[in-house]
């Protein structure tokens, strides 16, 4: 999506223009080419609208009337969601470009409104039709958006917002694509291109290197896969050498059969999205580098397929992790925490990261607990929690903190090893998964974000269509742009 600004409010007959309606809006302030709205657009006429309304015209510009209603209060999230819905209405009518009359709403600056609208139209204007034939009647992609009557004093902020949202959409492309196209090999190739951005570099720990470093957990999970296990380490040095380092660690299971504890067919259908954490941290560090943020960041991405063949690791196996702690595998479908264990140990032990934030589609229990509105946040660090929640409020990528303490950590004690990869019962599944990962972080400031509930949408919502949401790219980028604790 490309963003443009026009000082003029002139519109043509072939244009499609978004007009936001709300209590107190004066329709007579609209451009002269909107005679229908100027003449008949009373507040009463449009007061009952609940969804964007497309008004075609043979003589004037086509209009999309976008109602801003959320009880008695209009919030930036309301504007963001309404803009996303309007973008999809535009695409359904085969529009690849839209123009916008920026609303005037008390308590919000024009920059805040423009940024929220940019987020909405860029994320809402996304369509995944890679596998559709050319004659299929699918929605047109939204390619450009122009703000009318704006001098562009906040242009840089809008363009930066669009940049991050476009990277969120690239993340969605990666997650939505089939495993023949997206696998450890192809993700490494994509990361290699990203690593060419200024101040970035990349290192690959291939299977041979993983074995030599005794990263036995990731090797065990990935040894049955067609594509060999590996860890990608992307490094962006935008700050000073003396500055602290953040490590974003993303779960990259490019397909999850469940291993020998095989999933039922219905539970396996969408398991290409089990690498959504990996995709989100990859495009977050891309965003951070392209924005030239003055911060030092690693993206640590463990990549495997959790497949089934004669080499599959087995329930009851015990492996010694990179940290030296032994793990009793009680279920091969709890594989994400195993690869993250070696990855977070690497982030702390080898990279000396001051902050470690892991992001993973870790547990089905997260969706049971939180539905699709919130991702789960688990951490012992209240200040780190506050910073992440602040970013979640700002971006609309919502977080809800779940508790953790030593009592939860005791649930994964094993009779024959240091710890087990699941607890004896199914209670507190999301917290137990986080408690497992915490065993492999010693001194770094750590937070775990379970995005199983938010990375994938089974049904279209206000902000997103079906399937990948790109959750996490905007959240982590915003976190990195704030002051470190």
- Same domain flag for 48 and 185: no
Is the predicted pLDDT of residue 105 greater than 80, yes or no? yes
Marked catalytic residue, from 213, 263, 325, 394 = 263
- Same domain flag for 91 and 176: no
- Same domain flag for 253 and 367: yes
Is the predicted pLDDT of residue 369 greater than 90, yes or no? yes
Q: Do residues 248 and 277 make contact, with C-beta atoms less than 8 angstroms apart?
A: no
Residue 155 lies in a domain: no
Confidence of residue 11 (pLDDT cuts 50, 70, 90): confident
Residue 156 lies in a domain: no
pLDDT in the model for residue 337: 98
pLDDT in the model for residue 106: 83
Marked catalytic residue, from 80, 286, 337, 445 = 337
Q: State the angle between helix axes of 76-92 and 110-124 in degrees (0 to 180), rounded to the nearest 10.
A: 40
Q: Within 10 Å of residue 51's Cβ, how many Cβ atoms? A: 13
Q: Do residues 245 and 297 make contact, with C-beta atoms less than 8 angstroms apart?
A: yes
- Same domain flag for 262 and 351: yes
Structure tokens at 397: 């990528």
pLDDT in the model for residue 107: 87
Q: Do residues 291 and 160 make contact, with C-beta atoms less than 8 angstroms apart?
A: yes
Looking at 108, 127, 150, the residue that finishes a domain is: 150
Residue 91 lies in a domain: yes
CATH code at 124?
Answer: 3.40.220.10
Q: What is the mean pLDDT of the chain?
A: 92
Is the predicted pLDDT of residue 230 greater than 60, yes or no? yes
Residue 157 lies in a domain: no
What average pLDDT does this structure show over 438-466?
A: 94
pLDDT in the model for residue 292: 98
Q: What secondary structure, in 3-state letters, does the chain show?
A: CEEEEECCCCCCCCCEEEEEECCCCCHHHCCCCCHHHHHHCCHHHHCCCCCCEEECCCCCCEEEEEECCECECCCHHHHHHHHHHHHHHHHHCCCCEEEEECCCCCCCCHHHHHHHHHHHHHHHCCCCCCCCCCCCCCCCCCCEEEEECCCCCCHHHHHHHHHHHHHHHHHHHHHHCCCCCCCHHHHHHHHHHHCCCCCEEEEEECHHHHHHCCCHHHHHHHCCCCCCCEEEEEEEECCCCCCCEEEEEECEEEEECCCCCCCCHHHHCCHHHHHHHHHHHHHHHHHHHHCCCCCEEEEEEEEEEECCCCCCCCCCCEEECCCCCEEECCCCCCCHHHHHHHHHHHHHHCCCCCEEEEEECCCHHHHHHHCCCCEEEECCCHHHHHHHHHHHHHHCCCEEECCCCHHHHHCCECCCCCEECCCCCCCCHHHHHHHHHHCCCCCCEEEEEECCCCCEECCCCCCCCCEECCCCHHHHHHHHHCCCC
Residue 159 lies in a domain: no
For residue 304, what are the contacts with CB-CB under 8 A and spacing of at least 6? 184, 218, 221, 222, 225, 229, 252, 253, 254, 335, 339
Is 263 part of the annotated catalytic residue set?
Answer: yes
Burial of 383 per CB tally in 10 Å (0-12, 13-18, 19+): exposed
Q: Range of 393's domain?
A: 164-481
- Same domain flag for 291 and 377: yes
pLDDT in the model for residue 30: 67
- Same domain flag for 144 and 240: no
Looking at 124, 150, 176, the residue that finishes a domain is: 150
Beta bridge partners of 297: 236, 246
CATH code at 270?
Answer: 3.40.630.10
What is the C-alpha separation between 83 and 165, in angstroms, rounded? 14
User: Each residue of 260-282: pLDDT tens digit?
Assistant: 999 999 999 999 999 999 999 99
pLDDT in the model for residue 91: 93
Residue 189 lies in a domain: yes
Looking at 92, 121, 150, the residue that finishes a domain is: 150
As for how many domains the chain has, the answer is 2
Burial of 294 per CB tally in 10 Å (0-12, 13-18, 19+): exposed
User: Each residue of 44-98: pLDDT tens digit?
Assistant: 556 677 889 898 877 778 889 898 875 567 899 999 999 999 999 999 999 999 9
Is the predicted pLDDT of residue 342 greater than 70, yes or no? yes
Between vectors from CA 211 to CA 224 and to CA 436, what angle results, nearest 5°? 75
Is 230 part of the annotated catalytic residue set?
Answer: no
Confidence of residue 136 (pLDDT cuts 50, 70, 90): low
- Same domain flag for 308 and 221: yes
232 phi and psi, to 5 degrees?
A: -95, 135
- Same domain flag for 301 and 440: yes
- Same domain flag for 301 and 169: yes
Is the predicted pLDDT of residue 41 greater than 70, yes or no? no
CA atoms within 13 A on the CB side of 268: 16
Laid out side by side, the sheet with 2-6 consists of 2-6, 144-148, 97-101, 16-21, 62-67, 53-55
- Same domain flag for 56 and 204: no
- Same domain flag for 119 and 256: no
- Same domain flag for 280 and 400: yes
Residue 176 lies in a domain: yes
């Amino acid at each position: 999506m490309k963003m443009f600004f026009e000082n003029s409010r002139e519109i043509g007959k072939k244009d499609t223009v978004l007009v936001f309606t709300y209590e107190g809006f004066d329709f007579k302030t609209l451009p002269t080419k909107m005679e229908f709205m100027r003449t008949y657009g009373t507040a009463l006429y449009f007061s009952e609208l609940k969804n964007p309304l497309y008004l075609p015209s043979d003589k004037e510009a086509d209009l999309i009337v976008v109602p801003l209603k959320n009880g008695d209060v209009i919030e930036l999230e309301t504007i963001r969601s309404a803009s996303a819905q309007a973008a999809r209405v535009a695409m359904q009518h085969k529009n690849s470009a839209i123009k916008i009359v920026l609303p005037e709403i008390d308590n919000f600056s024009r920059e805040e409104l423009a940024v929220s609208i940019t987020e909405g139209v860029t994320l809402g204007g996304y369509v995944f039709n890679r596998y559709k034939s050319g004659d299929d009647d699918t929605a047109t992609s939204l390619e450009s958006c122009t703000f009318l009557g704006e001098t562009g004093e906040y242009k840089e902020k809008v363009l930066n917002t669009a940049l991050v949202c476009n990277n969120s959409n690239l993340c969605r492309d990666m997650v939505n694509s089939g495993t023949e196209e997206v696998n450890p090999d192809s993700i490494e190739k994509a990361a290699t291109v990203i690593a060419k951005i200024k101040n970035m570099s990349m290192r690959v720990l291939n299977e041979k290197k993983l074995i030599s470093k005794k990263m036995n957990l990731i090797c065990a999970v990935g040894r049955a896969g067609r594509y060999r296990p590996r860890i990608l380490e992307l490094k962006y040095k935008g700050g000073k050498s003396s500055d602290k380092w953040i490590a974003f660690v993303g779960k990259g299971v490019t397909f999850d059969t469940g291993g020998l504890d095989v999933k039922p067919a219905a539970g396996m259908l969408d398991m290409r999205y089990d690498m959504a954490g990996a995709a989100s941290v990859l495009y977050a560090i891309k965003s951070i580098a392209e924005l030239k943020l003055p911060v030092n960041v690693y993206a640590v991405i463990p990549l495997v397929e959790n497949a089934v063949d004669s080499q599959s690791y087995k329930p009851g196996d015990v492996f010694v992790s990179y940290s030296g702690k032994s793990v009793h595998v009680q279920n091969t479908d709890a594989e994400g925490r195993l690869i993250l264990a070696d990855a977070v140990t690497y982030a702390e032990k080898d990279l000396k990261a001051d902050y470690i934030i892991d992001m993973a589609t870790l547990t089905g229990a997260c969706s049971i607990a939180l539905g699709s509105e919130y991702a789960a946040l688990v951490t012992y660090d209240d200040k780190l929690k506050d910073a992440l929640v602040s970013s979640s409020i700002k971006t609309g990528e919502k977080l809800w903190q779940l508790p953790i303490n030593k009592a939860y950590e005791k649930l994964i004690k094993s009779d024959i090893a240091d710890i087990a990869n699941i607890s004896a019962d199914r209670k507190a599944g999301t917290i137990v998964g986080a408690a497992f990962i915490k065993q492999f972080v010693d001194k770094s400031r750590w937070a775990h974000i379970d995005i199983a509930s938010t990375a994938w949408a089974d049904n279209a919502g206000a902000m997103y269509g079906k399937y990948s949401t790109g959750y996490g790219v905007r959240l982590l980028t915003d976190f990195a742009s704030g002051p470190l604790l």
